[in-house]
Homo-oligomer: A and B are copies of this chain.
């Protein structure tokens, strides 16, 4: 099941933005990392054969298919990489796992908590049979983020006391930006919350080694109505009219506590003019702080409360040294990496886990933990911000977390 002759044969479903990033990852990972299995870009799956073929040629896949169910039955596919919108994840992932295929699913893992629960259960069953599954929270594999987690785990900032986490974008700040599947509740599940809020919840889980245990939420749709894009007319019944409603949030703010009780504040927005992809986390510990902003993705800021008096301050670590996570495979110091490298690292780590017969992270259980937080935020918002507890997120031992 783990490849023929040292290969790991991949089928990728979907070929839009995420499909392009994943293709680059499968292509590049074996060129920079010594992998126990060679990923093979076997088949790209899309609904339209013509468009899939064009994509496959461009992205470098050996062949195409239009029926993902048929692909699951093939013997020459070891791993299914799911890059479709969230409303399809459960169906495909569960079927793939049941067919004995390893699964990589893009985030958010699912559109609803119930879907996520079924997926996690399926993953657990499959794991017993040696079938692996992973959620694509790729930012975990940005070297600076991985370094942050390692430093927290190593106690370099002491106990985690506080977290502030933001994901600021502006791609919907322009009110003339049209409706799309991402502004449609039926297709996307939620808006800023599920799309980018999911990232910062997972980021917090990963970096602190703790899960979010309580939340109080506030959602908003600042621009409530948008023009219908021609290509989008027909979706959700808005076709024919000139403007239609945005049915998801574009701002999601929530506060809460980690398992340890440490307070945390989160904000996800698509309305922050000038912030292009500002995914940020700052963790204040008892002996220091760490801060990251994806807009400077090769940098981690570290404040060491135990540094020499009079010389303390945030140290701007350029995370491009060979001893930093993932970096030795790449370029000399100061020669930074880009967005797609997180996907390459994800592919490499997944291949290694599959080869080693180990559980890759983030697992579907990790994805479910994120989903529980998102769900609680929505419920809290519906009840005027009343605090919601997430008992399932408490007392667990995070897989791969703090040593």
Interface residue ranges, A against B (CB under 8 Å): 17, 21, 23-24, 27-28, 31, 58-60, 147, 151, 156-157, 161-162, 164, 166, 169-171, 173-175, 216, 218, 220, 222, 251, 253-257, 261-263, 265, 267, 269, 271-278, 282, 284-289, 294-297, 299, 302-305, 307, 309-318, 320-321, 323-324, 331-341, 380, 384-387
Q: When the two chains form the complex, which single residue of B267, B284, B297, B309 contacts A164, counting CB atoms closer than 8 Å? A: B267
Whole-angstrom CA separation of A336 from B263 in the bound complex: 29
Whole-angstrom CA separation of A294 from B365 in the bound complex: 40
Is B315's CB under 8 angstroms from A289's CB? no
Is B338's CB under 8 angstroms from A337's CB? yes
Q: Which residues of B contact A288 (CB under 8 A)?
A: 273-274
Q: When the two chains form the complex, which single residue of B299, B331, B333, B334 contacts A340, counting CB atoms closer than 8 Å? A: B331
A59-B31, A316-B316, A386-B384 known; A303+B273 contact, CB < 8 A: yes
Q: Which residues of B contact A321 (CB under 8 A)?
A: 309-310, 312
Whole-angstrom CA separation of A254 from B218 in the bound complex: 11
A28-B24, A305-B174, A387-B384 known; A324+B310 contact, CB < 8 A: yes
Q: Which residues of B contact A289 (CB under 8 A)?
A: 272-275
Q: Which residues of B contact A285 (CB under 8 A)?
A: 273
Chain B residue, CB-CB nearest to A380: B385
Is A267's CB under 8 angstroms from B265's CB? yes
Chain B residue, CB-CB nearest to A58: B31
Is B31's CB under 8 angstroms from A332's CB? no
Q: When the two chains form the complex, which single residue of B17, B164, B269 contacts A332, counting CB atoms closer than 8 Å? A: B17
Chain B residue, CB-CB nearest to A263: B220
Whole-angstrom CA separation of A148 from B79 in the bound complex: 44
Whole-angstrom CA separation of A337 from B222 in the bound complex: 31
In the complex, the count of this chain's copies comes to 4
Is B174's CB under 8 angstroms from A251's CB? no
Chain B residue, CB-CB nearest to A174: B305
Whole-angstrom CA separation of A101 from B263 in the bound complex: 44
- How far in angstroms is the closest Cβ of chain B from A281? 13
Whole-angstrom CA separation of A282 from B284 in the bound complex: 21
A216-B218, A385-B387 known; A313+B318 contact, CB < 8 A: yes
Q: Which residues of B contact A295 (CB under 8 A)?
A: 318, 334, 336
Chain B residue, CB-CB nearest to A302: B311
A31-B58, A323-B309 known; A272+B162 contact, CB < 8 A: yes
By CB atoms of chain B within 10 A, which of A222, A294, A309 has the most? Answer: A222
- How far in angstroms is the closest Cβ of chain B from A357? 25
- How far in angstroms is the closest Cβ of chain B from A163? 11
Interchain residue pairs A-B with the least CB separation, the first 3:
A276-B334, A277-B334, A274-B303
Q: Which residues of B contact A59 (CB under 8 A)?
A: 31
Q: Which residues of B contact A169 (CB under 8 A)?
A: 334
Q: What are 14 A-B contacts defined by CB distance under 8 Å? A: A151-B311, A173-B305, A218-B255, A220-B261, A255-B255, A269-B284, A273-B284, A274-B305, A277-B334, A304-B311, A309-B323, A312-B317, A338-B341, A384-B386
Is A316's CB under 8 angstroms from B314's CB? yes
Q: Which residues of B contact A332 (CB under 8 A)?
A: 17, 171, 277
Is A161's CB under 8 angstroms from B384's CB? no
Q: Which residues of B contact A220 (CB under 8 A)?
A: 261, 263
Whole-angstrom CA separation of A104 from B387 in the bound complex: 39
Q: Which residues of B contact A261 (CB under 8 A)?
A: 220
Q: Which residues of B contact A253 (CB under 8 A)?
A: 255, 263, 265
Q: Which residues of B contact A255 (CB under 8 A)?
A: 216, 218, 253-255, 385
Q: When the two chains form the complex, which single residue of B251, B278, B312 contacts A263, counting CB atoms closer than 8 Å? A: B251
Chain B residue, CB-CB nearest to A337: B338
